[in-house]
Structure formats: structure tokens, C-alpha cells
Chain A
Amino acid sequence: MMRPSPNHDHRCVDFLERLSRYLDDELAAADRRTIERHLRDCPCCEDVLQSLRHTVEICHEEGRPDLPPDVRKRARARVSELLRQAPPRRAKAR
């Protein structure tokens, strides 16, 4: 789990706990400004923020694999077989 480096001061512990909410834009404006002021004065917290942001970006860009061609082919075959045996019906009117 995240531990403040020796370069962090006591305020950093609180800021580090809120960095994800800052990244997700979930903080109130006043809290956001407080964090931004701290980030300007604290390169360690700024480094953590940038690496967290980078981690999230890697997940967004590289995390979602497409189905490999052979798996996709099997998946399509299963769908065709299922719909051939039992075509979809309209939902009953409610």
C-alpha cells in the first residue's frame, strides 16, 4: 500500500488519500484548490499524481483485449447455433 516517502510531510498522507478523487473530478471546488496548491509545492505528491494518471491511462488504452480470431469464431458459431435452434421472440406486452 502507498506509504509516504521520507520527502513527504504529514499533510501528504491526507492528500495522497484524496488523489484518486481529485483525478476523477469528484472533489468540491475548495478541496480541489487546496490540493492544487499543495501539488505546486510538493514534487513528491505531484509525482504520485502523474504516475497514478499514467496508470489509469494505460488501463484505458491497453487493458481491453479484443477476442483472438479463433475465440471470436467459436463465439460467433455459438450465437448462430443458439439462434438457429431458438430464434429470439418479442417480449410480451406489459
Chain B
Amino acid sequence: MTKSRTANLQEEGLPADRSAVPYADLVRSVQAGDQRAMEALLMRAQEVAYRFSLLVCGRADDADDAMQEALLKTYRFAARIREPEAFKAWLYRTVRNACLINRRKRAHEPDHFVALDEGPGDGDGHERQVDAVDPALGPEGQAINASLRTRLRRSLAAVPRPYRVVVVLREIEGLSTREVADVLGISEANVKTRLHRARLLLREQLEAS
């Protein structure tokens, strides 16, 4: 983004759909003292942590811890990162590390996957829904989408973690091959190999479900 574009963002405010604003632009606005940009960045960091906890770690009950970690580290880091373009990979690395730490704390427990279409219980034996429902869809459309989402998540859960993490970062979070390589500390060639195998494994699971 050019300086004038950044200035426009600050003068006009961020667009209503902040999810479309690139991370680096938000970081630049944060560094210029824009509180709304900081709010948007902190929400995004928590959304990433939530999705990663659910889709990669399969532990909805760890999501709150990961979200808190992502929130605090983003708050501390966003104002002082020298290369705003590097923020996105940093955020995913941070979230991944937070999830791994949570996993190590539970090393004595077997890997278990919450039925993500149902969500974690509330402690009283009641299940709550994980996803927000899109009100623009009719009841039938919502049911079809929910069913497809459930199939996808159950299939993802059956893919071994080293492959699952690549397919989630690349296909669901939309990171580039270079960004996935940065997050995982592996070569781009390795990312491509893992992505291909991950897609094949996920395809097999989806077809079997």
C-alpha cells in the first residue's frame, strides 16, 4: 500500500468490511495511532486463534486460551513490528505455538476431537452450536451448508496433523505457499508436497463420509 492510500484509510476510516483489509495495512494504521485499526486487528487475531484451535488442534476447549494469547501478543507486537508485511505469518506462528503449548499441557490426554458441528458442552450437559448461522440462507440452505461443514470438519479431523495444518493454512486461511513455509519453518517445496498429500487424504475422507 502506498503512503497516500494509508493516509486515506486514516482519513476516511477503515471500510465497513474490515476483513477485506490486508493485515499489513491494518498494522500500518495501528502504528499511526488508529484505535479502530487496533480493534480490528485484535478481533482478527482472536478469530484466527479460534479457527486454528478448532480446525487444527480439534480442541474447542483450548480456544479461549489461544485467543487470549493471540490478543495480548498482537497488542504488544503490532505497534513495533518493523515490517508490517511480516505480521500475518507472525500471527499464525504465534497462534500455532499457543496451540502446541496447550497440547503439551494435555500431553497425558488422548487427542480428542470435539464434534465440531455440535460444539463443546457448557458443562451442564448441553451442547452449543459452534458456527454462526447465515440468516441470508433459508432453512434448507442452512441445513445443506451445516451438513457439508460437518463432513468437512470430521474429514479434516481424520487427516494426520502435519498434513491437516498445511491444508487449513493454505485452503481455509488463504495463506500463500511462502507464508505457510514461514509459519511452519519448512521449505516451499515441502509445503507443496504436503499440500498435495493433504488434499488427497482429505478427498479420501470426504468421499468415505
Question: A residues touching B (Cβ–Cβ < 8 Å)?
Answer: 1-2, 17, 19-21, 26, 51-52, 54-56, 58-72, 74-76, 78-79, 82-83, 86-92, 94
Question: A63-B55, A78-B68, A78-B71 in contact; A90/B128 too (CB < 8 A)?
Answer: no
Contact of B195 among A20, A67, A90 (CB under 8 A): A20
A72 contact set on B, CB distance < 8 A: 132
Is B89 on the interface with A (CB-CB < 8 A)? no
Contact B79 A90 (CB under 8 A): yes
Distance of A67 Cα from B19 Cα, bound (Å): 13
Contact B47 A63 (CB under 8 A): no
- Which residues of B from 99 to 153 have beta carbons under 8 Å from A? 119, 128-132, 145, 148-149, 152
Closest 7 CB pairs of A and B: A63-B172, A59-B171, A20-B196, A91-B31, A66-B132, A90-B33, A2-B200
Question: A55-B203, A62-B149, A63-B171 in contact; A79/B51 too (CB < 8 A)?
Answer: no
Contact B38 A78 (CB under 8 A): no
Count of chain B residues with a beta carbon within 8 Å of a chain A beta carbon: 54
A90 contact set on B, CB distance < 8 A: 31-33, 79
Is B184 on the interface with A (CB-CB < 8 A)? no
Is B207 on the interface with A (CB-CB < 8 A)? yes
Contact B167 A59 (CB under 8 A): yes
A72 CB to nearest B CB, Å: 8
